[in-house]
């Protein structure tokens, strides 16, 4: 029996206790399967001593999400049958489906009994799982476990399509469900700064959405693509992708979709420094939002996040990118006043953007106070971390060696130790 030195080192680097690691793994298992995990301190002890060399698949996925690295890098070694299996990705896919209980392909398709006819209840089951993915994204955002789960559920929807008989309408809805899951995997990858994976998800999602004929999910996917290229610093590609979304029938028919399309266009224009284009797009976005009928039935994914606060957030991003500090700060305050309480990650992103705007205006002391107000539990989110690191660099350029810079440096150091 060989002790797991790699895992012990990872735990030491993060200053975690066995109980803390157990709690985090159990939480990730719940994100993956819908049920809280049963990992205990004794379980962690067995990992560290080498008594357990290759945990079950859902535990490996949870550990991967906690430490953001593959199981092998945590010192775990496949044994026996696991070692001879095709690939780790195949193991993850098979074991995840087995671990997900009531959402398995077998449970939905009745594979042992041969093909069966599927109907609207099967589609509704998948839509309920999609609602869970959207809710998990709002709570956590960017986690590898969300990306993995969404990708697996897309596979589940496609397997249901292949192993069953259905009407053309139901098949179209199954493709739309698969595209929805794939778009959530894409967004989780974007939010977690895993851009190469996001590009791959986009290709798959766009193909599935085209086969579904559902312009609302096509809008989501191409709008996400615009955001992806914006984060990659490619405004030309971002504008082109967002134009695909804006020209879809749903955007012409529903002012809420039109508003989101214009708002994201404004954020992209911010990268080019074209403040006139930013103002023009934001004006169109506000006008469309004012016309949107709140009584209209719409997909969950857009009603769950897009409102006046999110329009303000995109306006803030646009003006911040364009270097219009005063307008950026004004939109930040409006957005924070309107933001829904449950969206902690979004609130944190707005807070850091406000700090950047204050820094741009030369208000260094308020900027540092704003940045220090970001909750520690949210500051570890990849987007928030990157924005705080950029804030650190800008503050160093403006006030290197000052008492204010030292205060921030000490706070940032202690904060990283707390969340590590």
Phi, psi for residue 165 in degrees, rounded to 5 = -105, 150
Structure tokens at 285: 């976005």
- pLDDT beyond 60 at 101: no
Q: Three-state DSSP class for 166?
A: coil
Cα–Cα distance measured from residue 356 to residue 389, given in angstroms and rounded to the nearest whole number: 11
Cα–Cα distance measured from residue 364 to residue 394, given in angstroms and rounded to the nearest whole number: 10
Tell me how crowded residue 45 is: count the other CB atoms within 10 A of its CB.
13
Distance of CA 123 to the CA centre of its chain: 24
Cα–Cα distance measured from residue 143 to residue 193, given in angstroms and rounded to the nearest whole number: 10
* CA angle, 368 then 370 then 374, to 5°: 110
- pLDDT beyond 50 at 91: no
CB 220 within 8 A of CB 301: yes
Please, which residues bridge with residue 117 across strands? 165
> So what's the pLDDT on residue 1?
65
What separation, in Å, do the N-terminal and C-terminal C-alpha atoms of the chain show? Answer: 29
Burial of 221 (0-12, 13-18, 19+ CB in 10 A): buried
Most confident of 101-110, 135-144, 271-280, 402-411: 271-280
Structure tokens at 28: 């990730």
> So what's the pLDDT on residue 138?
66
pLDDT digits (tens, 9 = 90+) for 379-403: 777 888 889 999 999 999 999 889 9
Most confident of 110-119, 253-262, 342-351, 405-414: 253-262
pLDDT digits (tens, 9 = 90+) for 164-208: 788 888 889 999 999 999 999 999 899 888 999 999 999 999 999
Return the higher-pLDDT residue of 3 and 178: 178
Asked which of 43-52, 215-224, 243-252, 281-290 is least confident by mean pLDDT, the reply is 43-52
Cα–Cα distance measured from residue 52 to residue 75, given in angstroms and rounded to the nearest whole number: 11
Structure tokens at 280: 């023009």
> So what's the pLDDT on residue 341?
63
Comparing CA positions, the residue from 259, 267, 356 lying closest to residue 315 is 267
The domain limits of the chain are 1-89, 344-420
pLDDT digits (tens, 9 = 90+) for 215-251: 999 999 999 999 999 999 999 999 999 999 999 999 9
> So what's the pLDDT on residue 141?
67
pLDDT band at 161 (very low <50, low <70, confident <90, very high): confident
Q: Which fold has domain 1-89?
A: 434 Repressor (Amino-terminal Domain) (1.10.260)
Among positive and negative, which fits the CA dihedral 25, 27, 33, 38? positive
> So what's the pLDDT on residue 417?
55
Scan for tokens 């030491």, then name that residue: 12
Average pLDDT, the chain: 85
Comparing CA positions, the residue from 65, 170, 167 lying closest to residue 120 is 170
Asked which of 23-27, 160-164, 203-207 is least confident by mean pLDDT, the reply is 160-164
Tell me how crowded residue 8 is: count the other CB atoms within 10 A of its CB.
15
- CA distances 110 to 55, 92, 117, 127, 170, Å, are 28, 21, 10, 19, 18
- pLDDT beyond 90 at 118: no
Average pLDDT over every residue of 254-263: 97
pLDDT band at 67 (very low <50, low <70, confident <90, very high): confident
DSSP string, 123-174: HHHHHHHHHHHHHHHHHT-S-HHHHHHHHHHHHHHHHHHHSSB--HHHHHHH
pLDDT digits (tens, 9 = 90+) for 333-364: 999 988 776 567 788 899 999 999 999 999 99
Scan for tokens 């292949």, then name that residue: 162
- pLDDT beyond 90 at 305: no
- In this prediction, what percent of the chain has a pLDDT beyond 90? 50
């Amino acid at each position: 029996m060989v002790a797991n030195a790699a895992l012990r080192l990872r735990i030491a680097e993060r200053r975690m206790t066995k109980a803390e690691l157990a709690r985090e793994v159990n939480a990730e298992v719940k994100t993956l399967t819908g049920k809280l995990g049963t990992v205990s301190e004794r379980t962690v002890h067995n990992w560290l001593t080498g008594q357990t060399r290759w945990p079950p698949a859902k535990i490996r996925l949870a550990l991967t999400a906690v430490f953001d690295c593959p199981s092998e890098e945590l010192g775990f070694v496949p044994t026996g049958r696991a070692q001879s299996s095709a690939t780790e990705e195949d193991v993850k896919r098979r074991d995840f489906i087995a671990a997900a209980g009531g959402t398995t392909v077998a449970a939905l398709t009745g594979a042992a009994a041969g093909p069966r006819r599927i109907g609207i209840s099967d589609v509704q089951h998948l839509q309920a799982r999609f609602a869970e993915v959207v809710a998990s994204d709002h709570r956590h955002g960017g986690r590898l476990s969300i990306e993995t789960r969404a990708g697996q559920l897309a596979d589940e929807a496609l397997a249901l399509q292949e192993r069953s008989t259905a009407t053309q309408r139901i098949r179209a809805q199954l493709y739309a469900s698969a595209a929805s899951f794939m778009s959530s995997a894409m967004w989780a990858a974007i939010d977690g700064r895993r851009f190469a994976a996001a590009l791959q998800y986009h290709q798959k999602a766009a193909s599935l959405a085209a086969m579904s004929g559902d312009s609302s999910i096509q809008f989501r996917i191409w709008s996400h693509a615009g955001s992806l290229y914006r984060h990659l610093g490619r405004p030309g590609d971002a504008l082109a992708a967002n134009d695909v979304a804006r020209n879809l029938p749903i955007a012409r028919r529903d002012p809420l979709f039109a508003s989101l399309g214009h708002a994201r266009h404004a954020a992209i224009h911010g990268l080019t420094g074209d403040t006139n284009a930013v103002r023009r797009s934001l004006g169109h976005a506000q006008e469309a939002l004012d016309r949107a009928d709140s009584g209209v039935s719409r997909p969950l994914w857009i009603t769950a996040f897009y409102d006046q606060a999110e329009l303000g957030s995109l306006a803030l991003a646009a003006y911040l990118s364009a270097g219009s500090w005063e307008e950026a700060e004004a939109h930040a305050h409006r957005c924070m006043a309107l933001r829904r309480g449950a969206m902690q990650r979004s609130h944190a992103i707005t807070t850091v953007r406000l700090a950047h705007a204050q820094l741009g205006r030369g208000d260094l002391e308020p900027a540092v106070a704003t940045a220090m107000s970001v909750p520690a539990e949210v500051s570890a989110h990849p987007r928030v971390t990157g924005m705080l690191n950029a804030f650190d660099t800008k503050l160093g350029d403006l006030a290197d060696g000052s008492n204010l810079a030292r205060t921030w440096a000490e706070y940032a150091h202690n904060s990283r130790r707390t969340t590590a």
